[in-house]
A = this chain, B = another copy of it.
Amino acid sequence: MFNQLGVIGCGLMGGSFALALKRAGLVRQVVGYSKSPSTTEKAKRLGVIDIAAESALLAVSGSDLVLIAVPVAAIDATLKAIRHLVESGVLIMDVGSTKRDVVDTARRVLKDRVDCFVPAHPIAGKEVSGIDHADGQLYGGRQVILTPIAQTRPELVQKATDLWSAIGSQVLKMSPENHDAAFAAVSHLPHLLAFAYFSSVAKQPAGREFLSLAGPGFRDFTRIAASDPEMWRDVLMANREEILKQSLRFRHTLDALEHVIKQGNGDALEDLIRSASEMRLGWQMSTPKR
């Protein structure tokens, strides 16, 4: 049980976390801050937070748990704004989709107090963002990756693990480097491809007509192309090295498929499709037992 949760960034992720903790009875009160005062006010009106703070620093004051739920590019400024009130034993987490850059920033800004920071990445989200879509169930049945470093206090890693588990998430630990390599492959590249693919269809001369004919396969394939532009700008920039590596790998596989198509080699094409199709049929998303 925490006494006070300070949420910095009252959007979908931060708001959903506050709701989940309240629902689970894990926190006495929630203090929230957002850059836009109207967002903070709305979060209060919706009952997502109890007290609207006028600064990030005031949201941290008196909190034994802090969630930084701002775009990755704003974590630097956020940590600078709060570092003077980060006391030993306070658990600070983020929700960023990249971890190497966040860890580097935390080391640089928090210095000794980086021991309080448990970098976190919940594998959850929606295409819609903002406090209006906050949902206390968002993290239920989802994986949460923690990427502690050598300095991180083990008891805070344990607290973080217990906390996410208590709201229904499955907690995994890995290094920031492994995290970024893995998510470049299974999350960041697909977003890049979906943005590119949707644009390329929509912006061609007959794009509007083509879009009117698209069916359920197209709908699901392009769902993530509707994702938040600011967040994905930051992710694609922060993890660009790994993402470009994965993109190159993808282009080689696409080249191989197109090569057999151009050759008219139906058997080879069928083999390549079959191996993808069988592996995909055998794949299932990991979800914890509820």
Contact = CB atoms under 8 A, between A and B. Distances in A.
Nearest to A225: B280
Interface stretch (A62-70, A106-114, A199-207): A199-207
A150 interface: no
Interface in A242-290: 243-244, 246-247, 249-254, 257-258, 261-262, 264, 266, 269-270, 272-277, 279-281, 283, 285-286
A269 B237 contact: yes
Given A225-B276, A244-B258, A197 B189 contact: yes
B186 A218 contact: yes
B143 A277 contact: no
Question: In terms of DSSP, what is the predominant structure of the interface of chain A?
Answer: helix
A236 B277 CA distance: 15
A197 B123 CA distance: 20
A214 B183 CA distance: 8
Interface of A: 73, 123-125, 127, 142-143, 145, 172, 181-183, 185-187, 189-204, 206, 209-230, 232-234, 236-237, 240, 243-244, 246-247, 249-254, 257-258, 261-262, 264, 266, 269-270, 272-277, 279-281, 283, 285-286
Interchain residue pairs A-B with the least CB separation, the first 4? A229-B274, A186-B214, A200-B253, A123-B215
